[in-house]
Amino acid sequence: MRPNYTLSTAPMMEWSDRHCRAFWRVLTKHSLMYTEMVTANAVIHGNRDYLIGYNDVEHPIALQLGGSDPAQLGEAAKIAADYGYDEVNLNCGCPSDRVKSGFFGACLMAEPETVARSMEAVIEAAPIKATVKNRIGIDDQEDYPSLLNFIDTVSASGVNHFIVHARKAWLNGLSPKENREIPPLRYDLVHQLKAERPQLEIAINGGINTLDEADEHLQHVDGVMLGRAAYQNPWILASVDRRFFGAQSDPVATRHEALRAYFPYIESQLAVGAKLHYMTRHLMGLFNAQPGGKQFRRYVSENAYKDGAGLAVLEDAMALVPE
């Protein structure tokens, strides 16, 4: 079977939380899933179960860390390993202000030595796979030479797996959202990186919307990471097990079946005090572009927030969509 990073889902703050991942796991048993970013500081000092707790069904799962202090990152990585994470990943791609001020995220593209020291500490502290997610570069860095320098410097620390979001981040003047849309995609540079550093595992990310596109990239690189496409149209994940991982069959055959397969998880969460809408907000794209999809979304939006809302809301909403 191909490695789980062949097709992975992206770390996305507010989106790829544990409830979302548990739903995606109904659709694919094999894809590697990344958590939202959690700062090393929060992992060490915060409410750990709340921040990095997850459900066993979510494996294979990677914890994404934010930070640039080697000692802290090492400590957080050790905690991740103790929690049973399969991988720990360092965020070197996120351009938000909050992240800039804390000296982590995409600004680290200009600090490859710092990243290398950090990853040495992570590898030393945690006996699990250690990876980096980065951009091509930032601001006015030269496109390919600075990417190569970053990768060479960081891989000397022992990291051999990089996920490259195939565009630059412009740290001044663009919002985080614009930084996912405006800097041009340069898939060619990521393909070139793999060609010139074949010993490294390189996954590509950014603007990949279909499994055909993913297949195309896999001619050049080792993995494809899907972000918004997986969130906005989760059904795309329902055929990856057979297509990319050689599974005999995909886990569910229809969107309705997927939803029903998620019910036991929802029930278990309601039983421990979670609200229905914590989970239903991740289901809004399931019937995307399907007859009845709009009615499904409207019904869920109007009813999942009500006090005591339970599975009946989803049963009723599902009945609005022809099976």
Ligand X SMILES: Cc1cc2nc3c(=O)[nH]c(=O)nc-3n(C[C@H](O)[C@H](O)[C@H](O)COP(=O)(O)O)c2cc1C
> By the criterion CB under 6 A, which residues form the site for ligand X?
10-15, 36-37, 64, 91, 93-94, 133, 165, 180, 205-208, 226-229
Based on CB atoms, which residue is closest to ligand X, 39 or 146? Answer: 39
Residue 319 CB, shortest distance to ligand X, in Å, is 30
Return binding residues for FMN.
Answer: 11-13, 64, 133, 165, 205-207, 227-228
With CB atoms as reference, the residue minimizing the distance to ligand X is: 227
Report, in this order, helix, strand and coil percent for the chain, each rounded to 5.
Answer: 50, 15, 35
Residue among 117 and 165 whose Cβ is closer to ligand X: 165
Q: Which is nearer to ligand X, 215 or 302 (CB)?
A: 215
Q: How far is the CB of 237 from ligand X (least distance, A)?
A: 13
Report the nearest approach of ligand X to the CB of residue 187 (Å).
Answer: 12
Residue pair 88/122 in contact (Cβ under 8 Å)? The answer is yes
Gap between the Cα atoms of 225 and 240, Å rounded: 12
Nearer to ligand X, 79 or 225 (CB): 225
Cα gap 184→181, rounded to integer Å: 8
Phi, psi of 187 (to 5 degrees): -60, -35
Whether 20 is catalytic: no
First-to-final CA distance of the chain:
32
Residue numbers belonging to the annotated binding site: 11-13, 64, 133, 165, 205-207, 227-228
Residue 176 beta carbon to ligand X: minimum distance, rounded to whole angstroms? 7
Catalytic residues: 94
